[in-house]
Each structure stands twice: as C-alpha cells, then as structure tokens.
Chain A
C-alpha cells in the first residue's frame, strides 16, 4: 500500500467511525450502511480464513505432503467437513448431525478432565490456605474460604434458602455483590479504553491534532 492508499484508507476508516458513532444521535442510513458493510466484510473474512487457515494447510497441503495411509485417512475429516455443509440443503440436513456429534463428543470428552484437572482441583487447593496465627494473611485466608463456600451455597437451589443455608446464602450475596461491583467497575474501564482508542484514531491519524 502506498501513502496515497493509506490516506484514502484513513478517510474511509474515519467515515465508517463517524457512521457508527452517529447511532448515538439516532438510527440513520449511514449507520445502517456501515452495519451492513461490517456483516458482509466479516463474512467474507471468515470464508478466506477457512480457506487459507484450515482447508489449504491442513487438508490440501496434508494430502500433498503425506504418503500412504496418512494421505488417504485425511479423507475422513474432509468428508466430515463436507457433510457438515449438508445443513445448507433441507433434504440432507440430518446428515450434518454426524460431524456435529463428533465435535460435541470431542468437546465433552476433553471438557470433563480439563475442568477437573485445570480448575476444580487447583482452585480448591488454592482456597485451603494455612492459618498461621493472628495476622492479616490468616484473616484473608479465612475470608477467602467463607467467600468461596457461601457463594457456592448461594447458587444451591435444590433446597429452600432457610436456616443455616439461608444464613450462608445471605453471606454469599455480600461476596457476590462486591464481585459484581468490581466487575462492573472493570467493565466500565474497558469500555472507556475503547472510546479512548477511537478518539486517539480521530485526533491523531485522521485529524493530526495530536
């Protein structure tokens, strides 16, 4: 891309940026145009990615590079992929359940062990920390245990929240609300950062004010 292309591109990006921002005033044809362009270009992007990051390197290249059984066995995933597209046609749509069943099976099989080994066990281990005496760390460790346990109990709906369970759930809600508040604050930070990013583009790349 030459510098002329960059200038054209920057102005195109600027136009699209303002077209989207115009939605803040109200829905309008410019926003609609930008929105449709986004959907179209993104769909095109996916097609290119599937072609050049999946089909070409993994299937075509694999088929050309490999020999013997390794070569021909690639027809299995290729067939599964093509069968997946049978969903495009109502009459054959049911066939797509086979590859879907395969991907669901793989996801389920891997998920069982990964969630236990990668989350439940290490996270419980990290919760059960030693109490070393009357100090701040021990207090934090205690609060951590209480917080984890009462949060889990809050989401236990198989019994009515009365008695001990009700009390625990009340403690749990304290932790949950603090957590949601923190998440809200962090989400706000993230959204502001995105606005800063766009403003930086407008003020720097587009208008050269800064």
Chain B
C-alpha cells in the first residue's frame, strides 16, 4: 500500500498522458482533460504543505519565548492579518484583489516593497562581486569578462556612440555563440528531463516517495 499504490498511480497516469498525446480522440482526450483539471486542483494544495510547519515552528518560539520570539509574533500577525483582509476583500468586493479591497493595500504596501527591495539588494552585491571576483586570471575567465563587458556596452546608448561595433557585436554574441551554447545546454537538459520522466514512470526513480 505504501509503495506499490503510488508507483502504480505514477505509472498509469504518466503512461496514459503519453498515449493520449498521440491519440487525442475519444475517450483519451476527454480523460486527459479531466486529469489536467484534477492536477490543477491538487497542485494548489501542495502550496499549503510548508505553511503548517511555518506556523508550528514560530508558535513554538513564542510559547517558549526563545530568542527572536518577537519576530515570530510579527510573522504570525502578518499571516493572520493577510488572511483576514483577504476574506474581507472577497466578501465585500467579490475578490481579494479588487482594486478597492484592503487585501490590495497589504499587497501594494508590504509585499511589493519587501519583495522588490530584497531583489534590489542584489544590485549592490553583484556590483561588489564584479569588482572583487571578476578577474582575468586565465584565458577562460578573460573570455567571460570580455563577453560580459561587450554585452553591457552594447546595450547602452553610449556604447553605440563610442562605436557601432558594440551594439553590432552584442547582437552577434547573443544570436550566434551565446545562442549556440544555450541551445546545446538546453538540448542536453531537455533530453535529461525526458529520460528522468521515463525513469519516474517506470518506477526506477523513486526519490519523490521519500
């Protein structure tokens, strides 16, 4: 029950979807559509999996008043407040993300600045890394460095003002050598994904059951 049933489920659904790709007619097509809708429904529930852990671990921190418990209070209050205003938005405006909904207030003034600023920090770190670690230590590193600098110059007006070479060269790098390498890597990755899918369907790869 604990292993055989899930392996059978994976085998049957995987195999069926391959078959229905080639034979999209009745009854395969209809059944495929049903499985896809079910997948969408079930996929939503997977998003909930981490939330219980989050709530539990922070609730524990608060009850034991262990270090940083105040932050855990902020976290849980933020969570509950978001859910409450989400429900209010749904009841009052038909959807939490109707423009007038209080849920959109939390979204616009907490989630957006927090998310955006966290990623803006990366600008500082990548600038610092460029200065500290981007060194022409050997020919391979030099190639990488030269390519990066040409691309960066080719994408700004002053690069074009300095010489038509930069925008032309950046476009050539993007459409010929960089494209070739990306394609090579991606073809390898796609074939890898296909073989992994086959291993999963055939039950050779079982790590998802652990």
For residue A165, CB closer than 8 A to chain B, the reply is no
Within 8 A of B (CB), among A44-82: 44-55, 58-59, 73, 76-78, 80-82
Contact B113 A17 (CB under 8 A): yes
B209 — which chain A residues lie within 8 A by C-beta? 97, 100-101
A10, B90: Cα distance in complex, Å: 24
A73, B76: Cα distance in complex, Å: 37
Knowing A77-B38, A124-B187, A140-B176, say if A113 contacts B18 (CB, 8 Å): yes
Partner of A148, one of B15, B106, B184, B198: B184
A119 — which chain B residues lie within 8 A by C-beta? 186-187, 190
Contact B45 A50 (CB under 8 A): yes
A118, B12: Cα distance in complex, Å: 23
Q: How far is the CB of B68 from chain A (nearest CB, A)?
A: 7
Within 8 A of A (CB), among B1-57: 2, 5-7, 9-18, 21, 34-52, 54-55
A48 — which chain B residues lie within 8 A by C-beta? 82-83, 86-87, 96, 103
For residue A108, CB closer than 8 A to chain B, the reply is yes
Contact B177 A106 (CB under 8 A): no
Knowing A36-B72, A181-B151, say if A24 contacts B201 (CB, 8 Å): no
For residue B160, CB closer than 8 A to chain A, the reply is no
Which partner residue on chain A sits nearest B99 by CB separation? Answer: A1
- On chain B, the number of residues with a Cβ less than 8 Å from chain A's Cβ atoms is 122
A76, B13: Cα distance in complex, Å: 14
Could you say which of B5, B39, B150 has the most chain A C-beta atoms within 10 Å of its C-beta? B39
Contact A43 B117 (CB under 8 A): no
Contact A77 B37 (CB under 8 A): yes
Contact A109 B197 (CB under 8 A): yes
Q: How far is the CB of A61 from chain B (nearest CB, A)?
A: 12
Which partner residue on chain B sits nearest A12 by CB separation? Answer: B109
A108 — which chain B residues lie within 8 A by C-beta? 10, 14, 196-198, 200-201
**Beyond A50-B47, A191-B126, A195-B124, 8 additional pairs, beta carbon < 8 A:** A17-B116, A34-B114, A41-B82, A51-B86, A85-B48, A147-B179, A154-B184, A191-B119
Residues of B within 8 A of A (CB): 2, 5-7, 9-18, 21, 34-52, 54-55, 68, 71-72, 74-83, 86-87, 90, 95-96, 100, 102-124, 126-127, 130, 140-141, 143-152, 155, 172-188, 190-191, 193-194, 196-198, 200-201, 208-209
Ranked nearest first, the 5 interchain pairs of A and B with the lowest CB-CB distance are A147-B180, A44-B82, A151-B184, A181-B147, A109-B17
